[in-house]
Structure 1
């Protein structure tokens, strides 16, 4: 994961997953605002478990890249069977991918075997995956003091939100805002991973006074002075703030667009039904008025 591709590809996967959930939660809430019920994953019309299958495929690719494709000898261990220091991060990243694979695999099994408990248990597995992600990023073997450490420190804030809202979702399945924020935090993880990949491993984008340096086979950003390092970290904080603002504006704009797109149809349908009921009542009243004189004449006769 310690490369441009190693950050951009997982970032794209998180972005797509977050957007997929954000879109479906807004659509579901717009169509059924009074009976909204959250979902831990969303089926597709042609292949029910497509989302979960894609998570499993992406996780498998990530594990393969970290442990077998990326290493020079295509396996992460030393000849004596121990883990070398420069491959510790590979095991950390693959452990994160493994928990997401487990989440997706068991979500499918739960849906087939235990439909009643599938929502809460699937969210629990998702929370475990985010907890694993937070733990391994917080205790990352990568340098925490440099520019890369600052990017990963800020990434942890998005992971915390994903973890917290996933746990909250277990007890609040009808809360749209919890699902909305959870989806947005997953999407933002993807955005920030993509930003991290480009800003750390594109030489032209490295902060002034800093440079790419090879350490144990990994390209790492180092700075020539403390002043340059402090400036680089401050720029990372500004990037995070701007990205957060942009993603927030995007999410609210998407909400307004989808509410207009799907909400009006529901409202129109509801008003039409109410109008039809009113017409039926008026028709019944007219018919009853027509029949009542006749009934009176029969009675009088």
Structure 2
């Protein structure tokens, strides 16, 4: 993972996953604002488990790159069978990928078992996701790579995004109907991917290295070193500024995306409701339609409300399956 591609590729995967979840959660909430319930993953119409399969494929590629393709000799061990110091980070990164593979695999297994309560399925799947983020946070926090230099500052800020992913995933177990929890979780996954891509370009592109710093080869992988404490302090400050700018851009994007989606899908539900009412009016006639409306009003008084929320709910499920 300690290369440009090693950060950009998984970063893009997290970014795409976060964007996919953000789109589906916003769409689901726009169609069902009063009866919204979050989902741990979203199926597609052509292949139900596309999301999980892609996670498993990406995780398998990452494990292969870390343990068998990237290391010299295409194997991560010394001749005596021990793990060399310069391959410790490979095992740490592969353990993260293994945990996400386990999450995706068991989410499929849980979904295919019919005699488990749907709420229990969703909660267990969320718990598996939380374990994956907890593993990621643990290994990045106690990373064998440099914690003091510029790369360490990038990893420190990355951990803040992972903490939000972990906390919101755990909150999603107990509060599945709170849209803001799912919205924040999706956004934090997206932001984590964005920051990984930024790390890849900023740490392994010589033209983007801060003044007074340089790329140096240590223990088989390249790291950024600075010639003085002043240069290091400046480089870390630039990392903090970059993190802040990225956060501002993601915030603007998220709120704008929400407003556009609510406007589009909210009008879609209103149009469907109005169209149904006009059809009823056309078939029954004006006088009969008024009588039907009065009966609906009476049924509400007797505790049987006929709202359009149920119609919106069914429509939301159909849209997500597309």
Q: What's the TM-score once normalised by structure 2's chain length?
A: 0.86
- Shift in alpha-carbon separation, 1:78–1:275, aligned structure 2, 3 A: same
Q: Note the alpha carbon deviations across 1:84-118, whole angstroms, 9 max, x for none.
A: 00000000000000000000000000000135222
SS of the residue corresponding to residue 71 of structure 2 reads: coil
> What residue is the counterpart of 2:219 in the other structure?
216
1:277, 1:198 → 2: CA distance? 59
Matched, 1:284 2:284: no
Q: How many residues align?
A: 287
> What residue is the counterpart of 1:85 in the other structure?
85
> What residue is the counterpart of 2:31 in the other structure?
31
1:32, 1:89 → 2: CA distance? 45
> What residue is the counterpart of 1:152 in the other structure?
155
SS of the residue corresponding to residue 73 of structure 1 reads: helix
Displacement of 1:270: 2.3
Displacement of 1:273: 3.7
Which of the numbers 229, 234, 241 marks the counterpart of 1:238? 241
Which of the numbers 117, 134, 139 marks the counterpart of 1:136? 139
Deviates more, 1:107-116 or 1:226-235: 107-116
Q: How do 1:36-115 residues align onto structure 2 when only pairs under 5 Å count?
A: 36-113=36-113, 114=116
Matched, 1:225 2:233: no
1:231, 1:131 → 2: CA distance? 31
SS of the residue corresponding to residue 40 of structure 1 reads: coil
Deviates more, 1:87-96 or 1:258-267: 258-267
SS of the residue corresponding to residue 222 of structure 1 reads: strand
Question: Over the residues paired in the alignment, what is the CA RMSD in angstroms?
Answer: 1.6
2:158, 2:186 → 1: CA distance? 15
Structure possessing the higher radius of gyration over alpha carbons: 1
Matched, 1:258 2:270: no
Displacement of 1:282: 4.6
Displacement of 1:274: 4.5
Q: How do 1:162-177 residues align onto structure 2 when only pairs under 5 Å count?
A: 162-177=165-180
Which of the numbers 193, 196, 201 marks the counterpart of 1:193? 196
- Contact preservation (8 Å) 2:280, 2:289: no
- Contact preservation (8 Å) 2:123, 2:173: yes
Displacement of 1:135: 0.3
Displacement of 1:284: 2.9
Q: What's the TM-score once normalised by structure 1's chain length?
A: 0.92
1:118, 1:58 → 2: CA distance? 24
Matched, 1:182 2:214: no
Moved over 6 A (4+): none
Unaligned runs of at least 5 residues, structure 2: 292-322
Displacement of 1:216: 1.1
